[in-house]
Amino acid sequence: MDIYLILVVILFALAASDLVVGVSNDAVNFLNSAIGSKVAPRYVIMILASLGILVGATFSSGMMEVARKGIFHPEYFYFSEIMIIFLAVMIADVILLDLFNTFGLPTSTTVSIVFELLGAAVAVSIIKIYNSGGEINDYINSATALLIISGILLSIVVAFTAGTIVQYVTRVIFSFNYQKYLRYFGSTWGAVGITAITYFILIKGAKGSSFITSDTLALIESNSLGIILISFVCWTALLQLIIWFTKINILKLIVLVGTFALAMAFAGNDLVNFIGVPLAGFKSFQAFSADPGADASEFLMVSLTGKVKTETYLLIIAGAIMTITLWLSRKARTVTETEINLSRQDAGYERFGSSAFSRNLVRGSISVSNSVESIMPKFITSFITKRFDSSQKPKEDIEREKSSFDLLRASVNLTLASILISFATSLKLPLSTTYVTFMVAMGTSFGDGAWGRESAVYRVAGVTSVIGGWFLTAFAAFTASFLFANLIHWGGVTAITILIIIAVIFIIKTHALHRRNQAEKQKGKVAETGAELLHGDVLQKSTENIINTLAFVSQSYSETIHGLFDENRKRIKKAKKVIAGLNKDVKQLKSNIPLTVNNLREDLIETGHYYVQVLDYLREMAHCLTFISQPVFDHIDNNHKGLSSDQIDELSKVTVTVNHLLEVISGLIKEQNFNELEKVIENQHEVLNYIKDLNRKQLKRIKHGEAGTRNSLLYMGILSETKNLLLHTINLVKAQRDFIEYDKIE
């Protein structure tokens, strides 16, 4: 008895940890639309989301049955076997979610828990079959498990399709200049969305509530139509009054209500993923303890087959932990850019490359679109084209800091995702909030025309990559829990202890790794990109980018050359990684050039030319470093002979001179004083002449057989790229000088 009490305590400890890592993973699902559209200050959004989580937690009681009997038949398992399943599931869930969070891999808490339950139950079932006979269907609830898995997969298609259709119709009605039409249709449209949320969360969600009595539930269900009509009329009237007599943008209200609703739906549907298994373990322990003479290896868990209400205080405690995590977790603050990047309205830097599948799919879609357009009446085509003209944005959106999409799409994202998740919750189908919110966002971006010819192949490739990651989650969850269940069965208390120790060490290590990665990411960040750059002072940002780039160029160049001197493979590899990050940042800046130029005032549009020049030279400098570091790494990685002492002395002088020159240039740009530029150019010529002399010396070494082929190619390649690096650096200074002088003239 004592050992099982300890195991129950362990289950609840794992549940607390699972809540933390789970919210860290899923917070982006209900915060992205509100924060991405900048609907309100962050603290307002967080308060609403927190209230939604606390309320939604009390609506999740009905979902807890999934953990008890949704995947397997508990009446055929003994208490000792049930505890093995639950322990294996929780240990695997904590480790996997934390691992995926640390590396930013796409995952789903619902898919994780479903496949972990399935994996552990299958493992124990195979052991039972081996010992006692029977078939797998005797123990696994195949029909329900298949229904749940099918529901999760179907939600991907439904969410994307619904998002596409609803957003398309909404945009046709309101256009991008939506404020003009909100006065006429805004109250009705907003009332439909909020009424739908009220119906699915309040009425349907009440079935899973832990505190609503059966009489109250019956009263609500018998008057559901009346409640819907009253809600629609009241919201329509209220929103119309707001439109007439205030300057409040009702879309902001809808987005904020949608944020609350989605957080509520998230807690109502996903809380089972974190505490459902521990609560099932606790109920199992209570049933076992009620029979003092029972044997754990012979006590069948028939009690789990019935309906059991979860105590409200337990749900509130869980909701409180989720809320605290939402505010304090560093990983929750590290919001993934994947969803916003793939759904943003504007073209620009794409995180994903194209694939053969995405290219063929887009090519086929273009063909179909052209065929449909050819048979459609021209007046319809013209009308739809005007409705999707994104240049006709309201003044408020233009003046507002750049966001990935407007308030209209944000409201559709939140409202539609809330409805779908809440509807599934009312049917007790544990669909994935990650899948639904992500696919709704992808559907609305597609329906909104954001996947244009400039970005479609990359967006499709990105979506397919994310979905592929989801299947990886399912496979990893099943395999891990299957393995852990076997280890616990054969290893007993010793195996449990070892696995828990491993889990604790793993979490500590991954948190340390996450902090280190974030620190390195910030430290290695050369440029501010995206909206921050587009709406900042372009000249100031350009200056900061150059200074940061020069610092990284100097450091990376020095690290690569000295790594070559020492034949230190690890040092060179680290420098190569920094250079790859530099290339990525500068590439992203170049990809955002059209957006940056569009953001400039009309009287400063000529500065865009100099800005483009600056980025061109930054890009070329990054390329020079790549063409130095990669051959150096390959040379050392293949264990080729290092440089001679003469070559090391010569390159050492070049490195010192180059670093000094970069430092002086950085100072000129920082102070915006170019009086010493001619002197810098003279120093550059001296270095270039010295490099020319070194090339002659190396040719003589080759002639006299003092240097090998690989050694010579590497050495002369470094000298050549160093020369190019210096040339591009001087051109960069000149472009920045012209940029600054033109700005002063204006």
Better-scored residue on pLDDT, 305 or 157: 157
- Position 469 scores a pLDDT of 74
- Position 99 scores a pLDDT of 76
- Position 415 scores a pLDDT of 80
Please write the tens of the pLDDT for every residue from 641-687.
Answer: 888 888 889 899 999 998 888 888 888 888 888 888 888 888 889 88
Q: Are 48 and 70 in contact (CB under 8 A)?
A: no
**Inter-axis angle of helices 2-36 and 277-289, to 10 degrees?**
160
**What residue has token string 């990525």?**
584
In percent, how much of the chain has pLDDT > 90?
A: 7
Q: Would you state the structure tokens that stand for residue 333, as one six-digit string? A: 């603050």
Q: Would you state the structure tokens that stand for residue 362, as one six-digit string? A: 């887009």
Q: Which of 244, 265, 243 is nearest to 253 (CA)?
A: 243
Which of 336-345, 422-431, 653-662 shows the lowest mean pLDDT across its residues? 336-345
- Position 535 scores a pLDDT of 37
Q: Would you state the structure tokens that stand for residue 345, as one six-digit string? A: 């309205």
Which of 65-74, 96-105, 286-295, 687-696 shows the lowest mean pLDDT across its residues? 65-74
End-to-end CA distance of the chain: 82
**Range with the largest mean pLDDT of 38-52, 62-76, 421-435, 516-530:** 38-52
- Position 527 scores a pLDDT of 44
Q: For residues 543 and 478, give the distance between their C-alpha atoms in angstroms, rounded to a whole number.
A: 51
Q: Would you state the structure tokens that stand for residue 31, as one six-digit string? A: 């915060």
Mean pLDDT of 368-379: 76
From the DSSP assignment, how many helices (H) and strands (E) are in the chain? 29, 0
- Position 533 scores a pLDDT of 40
Mean pLDDT of 34-63: 76
**What residue has token string 């082929």?**
709
**What residue has token string 């195991």?**
7
Q: State which H helix or E strand residue 593 sits in.
A: helix 593-599
**Inter-axis angle of helices 250-271 and 187-197, to 10 degrees?**
10
Mean pLDDT of 347-356: 57
Q: For residues 334 and 325, give the distance between their C-alpha atoms in angstroms, rounded to a whole number.
A: 13
Q: Residue 62 pLDDT > 60, yes or no?
A: no
Which of 406-410, 637-641, 727-731 shows the lowest mean pLDDT across its residues? 406-410
Please write the tens of the pLDDT for every residue from 717-737.
Answer: 999 999 999 999 888 888 888
Mean pLDDT of 376-392: 76
CATH topology of domain 525-745: Methane Monooxygenase Hydroxylase; Chain G, domain 1 (1.20.58)
- Position 483 scores a pLDDT of 94
Q: For residues 393 and 388, give the distance between their C-alpha atoms in angstroms, rounded to a whole number.
A: 10
Domains of the chain, by residue range, sit at: 2-520, 525-745
Q: Residue 523 pLDDT > 50, yes or no?
A: no
Please write the tens of the pLDDT for every residue from 216-236.
Answer: 777 777 777 888 888 889 988
User: Which conformational region is residue 366 in: left (phi greater than 0), alpha (psi within -120 to 50 degrees), or beta?
Assistant: alpha
**What residue has token string 């995405």?**
358
* Beta partners for residue 72, in sequence order: 140
Q: Which of 94, 95, 120, 96 is nearest to 107 (CA)?
A: 96
Please write the tens of the pLDDT for every residue from 237-281.
Answer: 988 888 888 877 788 888 888 888 778 777 776 676 677 778 888
Q: Which of 251, 256, 197, 262 is nearest to 30 (CA)?
A: 262
Confidence grade of residue 517 (pLDDT, cut at 50, 70, 90): low
Mean pLDDT of 163-180: 83
Q: For residues 492 and 179, give the distance between their C-alpha atoms in angstroms, rounded to a whole number.
A: 65
Return the half-sphere exposure (C-beta side, CA atoms, 13 A cut-off) of residue 436: 31
Better-scored residue on pLDDT, 652 or 333: 652
* Beta partners for residue 78, in sequence order: 300
- Position 525 scores a pLDDT of 46
- Position 586 scores a pLDDT of 81
Confidence grade of residue 424 (pLDDT, cut at 50, 70, 90): confident
**Could you give the 3-state DSSP secondary structure of residue 298?**
coil
Q: Which residues contact 220 (CB under 8 A, 6 or more apart)?
A: 202, 203, 206, 212, 227
Confidence grade of residue 41 (pLDDT, cut at 50, 70, 90): confident
* Mean pLDDT computed over every residue of the chain: 77
Confidence grade of residue 123 (pLDDT, cut at 50, 70, 90): very high
Question: φ and ψ at 123, to 5 degrees?
Answer: -60, -50
Return the half-sphere exposure (C-beta side, CA atoms, 13 A cut-off) of residue 41: 3
Single pTM value for the model: 0.68
